[in-house]
Structure 1
Amino acid sequence: MIKCSNGGAYLARGEWVPAGPEASAALAAKGFDAAAAAAARQGTIAWKILQAHNTSGDAENLKIKFDAMASHDITFVGIIQTARASGLEKFPLPYVLTNCHNSLCAVGGTINEDDHRFGLSAAKKYGGIFVPPHLAVIHQYMREKFAGCGKMILGSDSHTRYGALGTLAIGEGGGELAKQLLGRTYDVACPGVVAIYLTGKLPVGCGPHDVAIALVGALFKNGYVKNKVMEFVGPGVATLSQDTRNAIDAMTTETTCLSSIWCTDETTQKYLAVHGRAADYAPLAPGDLAYYDGVVEVDLSAIRPMIALPMHPSNAYTIEELNANLEEILHACEEDVKQLVGRKDVTLDLCSKIENGKLRVDQGVIAGCAGGLYDSITEAASILKGRTGGCGDYALSVYPASQPVMMELVRTGAIASLMASGATIRTAFCGPCFGAGDVPANGALSIRHTTRNFPSREGSKPGSGQLAGVALMDARSIAATTANGGILTPATDIDYDPTVPEYQYDGSSYAARVYQGFGHGEYDALLKLGPNIKDWPEIAPLGENLLLKVASFITDPVTTTDELIPSGETSSYRSNPLGLAEFTLSRKDPAYVGRAKAVQAEEAARRAGEGDEALLAQVHKVPGCEALTWEQLQIASTIYAVKPGDGSAREQAASCQRVLGAGANIAAEYATKRYRSNLINWGMLPFQLAGAVPFGLGDYLLIPNVRAALAGDLSAIPAYVLGSEPRAFTLSIAALTNDERQILADGCLINFYKH
């Protein structure tokens, strides 16, 4: 169903030519000379869009300016506060502030409406666009109102993906959005491009999540598209509805790609026209000759209903395969979860859910930017028409992705069919994706057409003895399972009418409620700051010599941003940096905050002239450091993790460490560019370490002359593990731009702009 090439390939007038010694002759036979082959990278859709937005004059080292930006209410307060502290005067590009993440979580920190009021006041002051709560999830609003062919959009949510509408969109941490607000650029090396070549047609009963889960299962673990652009081409594209394309596109984030783009056609044109934006359409397709760094062939006709078991979207199986090997696969999943959780007393018992050779699930949810779309909900309603999930423990919740989608589902009768089947209907809200809506019971297994099922999200709080499982599935198979009373069932086993009535867009709810302020801000107005909306604390610049203490040591193969700073119950502290920081690593390493604060106290003592002389004596044993004084040293904490940063774009995964006094991360590699960018923007050195790890939890690591090292060759940075005798080892930092070097030296992005 999915096949990856072993190397690059040329798409030459619709036919593939593998890169290699024989490529020149094959291309020549098709009329392409050596010069055309050398320029073939320029034939991709991605290349054309990236270069059209590049201001550097260097095709390989890009400085991108975006057409629009979007943030939701977990991130926009921090972004605006960062930009405000750095000299923000007005929003220089359309900036959409949506309120789709904290509509239902108001306990423990900032009252939601304080953040919403802040957002509206910021939109009025700086000239922004404000989408009130319950009106739309962030990505659906951007699809309906902003995405268009050839555009680029930057968002502070990791699922910022509008490639199926011809927009190359990127999800990044808040620092990158603050740069755009201050007239700066998004700096990135020109990414590789991988073709996703679609053929065939999806069988009835299969939907976008079946394609997406299969893709993530094939691409995540091998890093095939990491930090690259996925470009969807091939005859299979034309067989997919626009909603199906949009939903697949949202999930490309889970492959760790940088962005995505699709060729466009009459289907795209019709979607934009229906939404009143016909002028935003343009045909996008590869040139006659285009070079791709890899090719992923997807036979849509071979796709089958899929399930991604806990606790990652890449833990992918066909439902048929799972049902045929239930006990074996579920037991293996239990063992994986046990290892991830790291506690023997908290386990997820999946095998007990086997009944007469079938798997019983406890809950179904269809929601968000991937699941809450018109086509998927309509087909789910068709499957459930005349059927019911019964009145037992199992329940189904449905969250349409926007008010216009809800209005159309009401008009066509789909909402009535769902409600008659026992499903409950919610407003547009992203909570089920990150643990703030329909949180499953302890020990439960929830099936969801949402984007993620990471550890430390929905209902999983091992430190409190609670653990739930979330499996990802397509809305169609969730509806089929509901019709079967909660027994896992692929939609291909159900006889139903898959016809989807033509969509009619009604934007009246937006016209009535969305504040449109771009270009006419009230620049002298005051922001409305609630009592728990706090400024960022002062952050010191990087010292000449850095003494790190390892405050957490994580050996999991991958560490997600949700493990670094949990979502869900922490969200109400989103606007209070110090309050939120109390939750850092709270599910993965509950003792981390205490350890980090202890190191922070050591740094405070050093600044006060009360440094530990015994520790300084260990520093003096390092060659060349015999005369260092406390005034020449800086103490900070660090974490070690094998591969941190998979998942969310939330900058809090980095900023929470920083406000607790962290000065660096050390990793074998970083899971995503966006997490590494967050570290840099918050002044934390993104060290990498090859080979065996020479230190452990609680060790002190000295990086002498660190500022000088930052300004020089980053490939071999001397470091030492302190002790009775220092042990030398070598760190590295991957390539940095000149601005990134200066941000790290200054201590954070805010300091950089102050200078």
Structure 2
Amino acid sequence: MPENVARKVISAHLLDGRMEPGEEISIRIDQTLTQDATGTLVMQELEALHLDRIETELSVQYVDHNLLQADEKNAEDHEFLRSAALRYGLWFSKPGNGVSHPTHMQRFGVPGKTLAGSDSHTPAAGSLGMLAIGVGGLEVAMAIAGHPLYLRMPQIWGVELTGRLPEWCSAKDVILEMLRRHGVKGGLGRIIEYHGSGLATLTAMDRHVIANMGAELGATTSIFPADIAVRDFLQCEGREEDFVELLADDGADYDLHEHIDLSTIEPLIAKPSSPGNVVPVREVVGEDVSQVVIGSSANPGLRDFAIVAAMVSGRQTVPSVSFDVNPSSREILSDLTGMGATLELVMAGARIHQSGCMGCIGMGQAPATDKNSLRTMPRNFPGRSGTREDSVWLCSPETAAASALTGVITDPRNWAREVGMPYPKIEFPARAAINTAMLVAPLPEEEARGVELVKGPNISSLPELPRLPDRLEAPVLLVVGDDISTDEISPAGARALPFRSNIPKLAEFTFTQIDETYPARAEEVAKSTGHFIVGGDNYGQGSSREHAAITPRHLGLHAVIAKSFARIHWQNLANFGVLALEFENPDDYDTIRQGDVLILDGVREAIRSGARLTVFDVTRELEIPVHHRLSRRQVNDVLAGGLIPNLARQG
């Protein structure tokens, strides 16, 4: 039977289960990726698992998020991560070497391999024909230790691309078109596989942009074939020997079908404060702009910076705009400099920042309150920028550059006509400026065993996770709406991020973007009754950060009752012993109020047997039927208080 690319890679790595949509399967993981904002917990989890040496083909620890060293905390995390990488046999990418996703693509990505990453944008590696999945840190730790990755078999969503992008449009507009059509929940339970004649017009780095932001659709991952474009990319990176052709068979079918004629794409933009809030740029032209930020894993390619440099060459950005450029890797910065593009950016008023995530995760570059910030980044959730009342828009490099030059949101096609500028034809180097000096290779196994983990005062141990009680009687401390993101549960930004390795301290920031009183109220009832949270649709969308599960758990959260859950956060809750329940009747969401006391009795036997679950709202004297979607494996983890306590009890 003819197979598509996604099914080929899954079947080659399948360890257990049937490849039927919705069935739980387990797959072998070849590579892992961790970054510093999530990796500190992963390394603590490896310590808790008593790991001696990685069991994957290759694992890499990047430092790309918490780069600002305003005090000792981030530096201590970096030292801890470096020592852990040396101890356990991981590669270590030093601070400032680059954002994990493009750097991994440049140095380590291999077609047909599987990659599990503790970052939700890990699917960017699907641009090379990898099955790359963002998961919680504990699942990455398990993969590093040689365990399978478990997931529900997704539907394969075939998106046929035909035609060629018009001038002044680029790959960012393609993924924004997908978000315009389907919103932030359109990819739930699906792998997006791109195919069709239009692929011939997209480079590997163009595909990276599209695969990266498939995460914003809620997709399990996105994947492209490994074809001539991938071969050319690896050749440019000096890794021709890693190329493996991987194409869909003739006649391969998909569970779902979509078509995009690239020639019909126009400049698009995501309005505040959701990646799914997409409109044509022409509908919002003239809005004042105070900041433009170029960079991030969503637009990390050399062309994404070079096109901006060409547009601003010989011109000045307007005085009212802060023009910020974050090179995505040292390699990209070296190539930009060799082309003369760095000087063009600087002369136009750009501030050149470190090679890292920076403003994307709110680590610097926080915009002024209520002032429009245009960014070539993947997310614009409320407050993610580091400013509580922010106004962040997501767009292509072309739209961002045109707006920086005018001071208002500008359609780059109109700007080009007004200044008489043809679409730039840029000469790119045939060979990338490869520099591996900031990549630290794993130590030999015997030498690695002698390495001591370096733990500064800000690095805590994992908290104790008690087993799930048989009777839950506790108040609802929060009722939240649809599409609550992990940024709103466990905030990003320069205030909170330095405590990512200190769970008790990080817990003080939990849900504070929604309700500043939550941590204190949760702590008050944590040792007596604990508490519930009630949510709407797509609860926990966005980042893979497991902190959004573990800090509420530390504050006594027993269960979340929601209309539906985002994939990664749902799994993270199970990993840390929090019961994820869904309303049988979504309208029952409207009957519960903050402060209501809920009772869930006989819960252990009920979730073990699959019996009907009923929540009793004592305050309103209502019975509310709920259900869970946990597999037997996940049920055992939740009952034990989490995956690590369950493993400890088994051992």
Q: TM-score range by the shorter chain?
A: over 0.9
The total of aligned residue pairs comes to: 634
1:372 alignment partner, one of 283, 288, 300: 300
Distance 2:596 2:287 in 1: 47
Distance 1:271 1:719 in 2: 55
- Deviations 1:446-479, CA, capped at 9 Å, x for gaps: 1010111111211432xxxxx2211011111211
**Alignment-derived partner of residue 548 in structure 2:** 653
Is the Cα–Cα contact under 8 Å of residues 46 and 193 in structure 1 kept in the other structure? yes
**Alignment-derived partner of residue 185 in structure 1:** 148
1:389 aligns with 2:310: no
1:198 aligns with 2:161: yes
**Alignment-derived partner of residue 566 in structure 1:** 491
1:456 aligns with 2:353: no
Specify the SS of the correspondent of 2:496: helix
**Alignment-derived partner of residue 353 in structure 1:** none
Distance 2:29 2:431 in 1: 27
Read off the aligned partner of 1:532 and give its amino acid letter. N
Read off the aligned partner of 1:681 and give its amino acid letter. N
Distance 1:570 1:504, change over 3 A: farther
Q: Note the 1:253-264 alignment, pairs <5 A.
A: 253-264=215-226
1:423 aligns with 2:318: no
**Alignment-derived partner of residue 699 in structure 1:** 596
Distance 1:231 1:59 in 2: 16
Shift of 1:726: 4.8
**Alignment-derived partner of residue 341 in structure 2:** 414
Shift of 1:169: 0.5
Is the Cα–Cα contact under 8 Å of residues 376 and 475 in structure 1 kept in the other structure? yes
- Deviations 1:382-416, CA, capped at 9 Å, x for gaps: 111111113x2212111111001111111111111
Distance 1:504 1:69 in 2: 29
Shift of 1:482: 2.1
Distance 1:450 1:199, change over 3 A: same
Shift of 1:506: 4.7
Distance 1:122 1:505 in 2: 33
Distance 1:738 1:200 in 2: 47
1:738 aligns with 2:635: no
1:52 aligns with 2:12: yes
Is the Cα–Cα contact under 8 Å of residues 596 and 661 in structure 1 kept in the other structure? yes
**Alignment-derived partner of residue 312 in structure 1:** 274
- Deviations 1:670-695, CA, capped at 9 Å, x for gaps: 1x210100100010000111232343
Distance 1:89 1:256 in 2: 35
Distance 2:148 2:109 in 1: 20
**Alignment-derived partner of residue 173 in structure 2:** 210
Distance 2:457 2:129 in 1: 42
Specify the SS of the correspondent of 2:475: strand
Specify the SS of the correspondent of 1:176: helix
Distance 2:164 2:35 in 1: 35
**Alignment-derived partner of residue 9 in structure 1:** none
Specify the SS of the correspondent of 1:666: strand
Specify the SS of the correspondent of 2:260: strand
Distance 1:587 1:530 in 2: 28
Q: CA RMSD in A?
A: 1.8
Distance 1:571 1:105 in 2: 11
Specify the SS of the correspondent of 1:158: coil
- Deviations 1:555-591, CA, capped at 9 Å, x for gaps: x222111111111121011110010000000011212
Distance 2:17 2:378 in 1: 37
Is the Cα–Cα contact under 8 Å of residues 334 and 433 in structure 2 kept in the other structure? no
**Alignment-derived partner of residue 613 in structure 2:** 717
**Alignment-derived partner of residue 727 in structure 1:** 622
Distance 1:543 1:641 in 2: 22
Read off the aligned partner of 2:369 and give its amino acid letter. N
**Alignment-derived partner of residue 287 in structure 2:** 359
Read off the aligned partner of 1:646 and give its amino acid letter. Q
Shift of 1:487: 5.1
Read off the aligned partner of 2:66 and give its amino acid letter. N
Shift of 1:497: 4.3
Read off the aligned partner of 1:430 and give its amino acid letter. C
**Alignment-derived partner of residue 470 in structure 1:** 392
Distance 2:17 2:490 in 1: 38
What is the TM-score of this pair, normalised by structure 1? 0.81
Specify the SS of the correspondent of 1:75: helix
What are structure 1's unaligned runs of at least 5 residues?
1-38, 324-357, 462-466, 603-634
Shift of 1:655: 0.6
Specify the SS of the correspondent of 1:427: coil
Distance 1:533 1:303 in 2: 48
Specify the SS of the correspondent of 1:369: coil
Q: Which moved more, 1:568-577 or 1:210-219?
A: 210-219
1:484 alignment partner, one of 403, 406, 414: 406
Read off the aligned partner of 2:599 and give its amino acid letter. L
Specify the SS of the correspondent of 2:205: helix
Is the Cα–Cα contact under 8 Å of residues 147 and 167 in structure 1 kept in the other structure? yes
Q: Note the 1:340-359 alignment, pairs <5 A.
A: 358-359=286-287
Distance 1:373 1:506 in 2: 12
- Deviations 1:21-76, CA, capped at 9 Å, x for gaps: xxxxxxxxxxxxxxxxxx56xx1110110111111164344211211111111111
2:580 alignment partner, one of 674, 678, 686: 686
1:597 aligns with 2:597: no
Distance 1:196 1:519 in 2: 44
Specify the SS of the correspondent of 2:253: strand
Specify the SS of the correspondent of 2:263: helix
Specify the SS of the correspondent of 1:479: helix
Is the Cα–Cα contact under 8 Å of residues 186 and 218 in structure 2 kept in the other structure? no
Distance 1:79 1:708 in 2: 31
Shift of 1:721: 1.8
What are structure 2's unaligned runs of at least 5 residues?
none
- Deviations 1:164-217, CA, capped at 9 Å, x for gaps: 111111111112112212322111222100011111111111112111211112
Sequence identity percentage: 30
Distance 2:283 2:190 in 1: 31
Specify the SS of the correspondent of 1:552: strand
Q: Which moved more, 1:519-528 or 1:223-232?
A: 519-528
Q: Note the 1:513-524 alignment, pairs <5 A.
A: 513-517=438-442, 520=445, 522-524=448-450
Q: Which moved more, 1:49-58 or 1:558-567?
A: 49-58
Read off the aligned partner of 2:515 and give its amino acid letter. D
Is the Cα–Cα contact under 8 Å of residues 404 and 505 in structure 1 kept in the other structure? no
Distance 1:497 1:553 in 2: 50
Distance 1:185 1:519 in 2: 25
Q: Which moved more, 1:242-251 or 1:519-528?
A: 519-528
Distance 2:31 2:247 in 1: 23
Shift of 1:372: 3.2
Distance 1:483 1:456 in 2: 26
1:288 aligns with 2:183: no
**Alignment-derived partner of residue 708 in structure 1:** 605
